Amino acid sequence: MTPRLKQQVLGEHVRRLRVQAGLSVRRLATQSGFSPSFMSQVETGQVSPSIGSMEKIAAALGVTLGDFFAAAAGGEGGLVVRVADRQALDSGWSNAEIEALSAPGQGARLNGIVITLRPRGRSGKHPYSLAHEEFAFVLQGEAVLTLGPDEHRLRRGDAAVIRAGEACLWRNAGRAAARILIVTSTTEGSHGSRAGYRGRHSSKRS
């Protein structure tokens, strides 16, 4: 059974990264497009942010969503992550589960996650921009990907490349769960940098 991360563990990791970056709660809130009160609730584990919100927070802290969750899980890891060891976190807002495929501390340029969108699940309220390029592959079910001004219905076996800075949003309009493999590409020197992130919305749970 996949181990599950608690919201408090995620919040503590957000706080550690924020302190390491020398950012105040207010500053991190500004850079990620949220209110300071919402950011405080994230750090104390009082809220379950959407996938889009977590993408924005990770980008503002200079990490990808994949290595964000792998590091939050803690422990030592190599290049092999067994299915029984991989960490998962539920996003109540998105009605989804996120599984980290990367081991903490790898420092790799590729990071992978699997997102399971349950029926009516969605990655956010509005399309949001990504800090890094992503490759997505639908493993199961079907999902609607909003990419720029267009919507694409992707079924099992379909794939997509999402460019850095391109607005996107995932949603499940079907009756069965949709599982999506997402691999994030990072370039050397991108870790710890917030230059590539362009947040578009300041909603509390975007």
Question: How do residues 176-194 score in pLDDT, each as one tens digit?
Answer: 999 999 998 775 444 443 3
For residue 66, the enclosing domain spans 7-185
Higher pLDDT, 83 or 2: 83
Q: What's the mean per-residue pLDDT of the chain?
A: 82
- CB atoms under 10 Å from CB of 153, counted, come to 11
Q: pTM for the full model?
A: 0.74
Please report whether residue 99 resides in a domain.
yes
Token representation of residue 184 = 């994030």
State the burial class of residue 75 (Cβ atoms within 10 Å of its Cβ: 0-12, 13-18, 19+). Answer: exposed
What is the 3-state composition of the chain as percent helix, strand, coil, each rounded to the nearest 5?
Answer: 25, 30, 50
**Which residues does residue 129 pair with via DSSP β-bridges, in sequence order?**
167
Please report whether residue 176 resides in a domain.
yes
- CA atoms lying within 13 Å on the CB side of residue 148: 8
**What local confidence, expressed as pLDDT, does residue 2 receive?**
60
**What domain count does the chain have?**
1
Mean pLDDT for the stretch of residues 28-44: 94
CATH code for the domain in which residue 175 is found: 2.60.120.10
Q: d(Cα 154, Cα 145) in Å, to the nearest integer? A: 7
> What is the share, in percent, of the chain residues with pLDDT greater than 70?
79
Mean pLDDT for the stretch of residues 5-9: 79
pLDDT band (50, 70, 90) for residue 74: low
Please report whether residue 43 resides in a domain.
yes
Torsion sign (Cα): 42, 48, 52, 55: positive
Residues in the chain: 206
Please, what is the Cα angle at 185 between 121 and 45, to 5 degrees?
45
Please report whether residue 197 resides in a domain.
no
pLDDT band (50, 70, 90) for residue 145: very high
Please report whether residue 196 resides in a domain.
no
Please report whether residue 89 resides in a domain.
yes
Is 148:161 a contact under the CB 8 Å cutoff?
A: no
**What local confidence, expressed as pLDDT, does residue 27 receive?**
95
Please report whether residue 70 resides in a domain.
yes
User: If we measure between CA atoms, which residue out of 38, 175, 39, 178 comes closest to residue 96?
Assistant: 178
Please, what is the Cα angle at 54 between 50 and 59, to 5 degrees?
150
Please report whether residue 91 resides in a domain.
yes
pLDDT for 111 beyond 80: yes
- CA atoms lying within 13 Å on the CB side of residue 89: 28
pLDDT for 3 beyond 70: no
